Amino acid sequence: MQVLRTEVMPIRSSQDLVVVRQAVRTWSAELKFSLVEQTKMVTAASELARNTLDYGKGGQVTLQVLQDGLRKGLRLSFEDQGPGIPDIELALRDGYTTGGGMGLGLGGAKRLVNEFDIVSKVGEGTRVTVTRWK
């Protein structure tokens, strides 16, 4: 698998969420994702970026265009150095929230992408990686 393009963007404020959404939209469109695929990817990015901001106390996202044989994909990796998630299975469950949201962020984002990976260490931080293939 080849990485064709990489960009790192900060997630420090609610304004940064808008910038990240716009970048994911542009990259998805360049990969010729359908409008529904674009919207799913942008929405997943919005949920995960907000988690990075609200629970991780800020961090960054790495956008990557991947080439795997004939197919291309967009991978987003959200990283923070926040408190980490003690129970990932519980955090992925719909309706579970420690914040003020509806508890759809992680589980919902997982449903909107093709691949979903989460690594978290309590006291060290969290990394959520999602990929959507064309």
Partner 1 sequence: MERIPILRMGKVLLVTIQVDMHDQLAVTLQDDLTARIVETGARGVLIDISSLEVVDSFIGRILGNIATMARVLDAQTVVVGMQPAVAITLVELGMSLPGVRTALNVEKGMALLQASIKADEAEPEVLDASLED
By CB under 8 A, tell whether 62 contacts partner 1.
no
Supply the DSSP symbol for 101: S
Q: Kindly determine how many residues on this chain lie close enough to bind partner 1 according to the rule CB under 8 A.
A: 27
Q: Sort 123 into a burial class: Cβ within 10 Å, 0-12 / 13-18 / 19+.
A: exposed
Nearest to 18 by CA among 41, 40, 50, 64: 50
Binding to partner 1, residues 19-38 (CB under 8 A) = 21-22, 25, 35-36, 38
Q: Which residues bind partner 1 (CB under 8 A)?
A: 14-15, 17-18, 21-22, 25, 35-36, 38-40, 42-43, 46-47, 50, 94, 101-102, 104-105, 107-109, 111-112
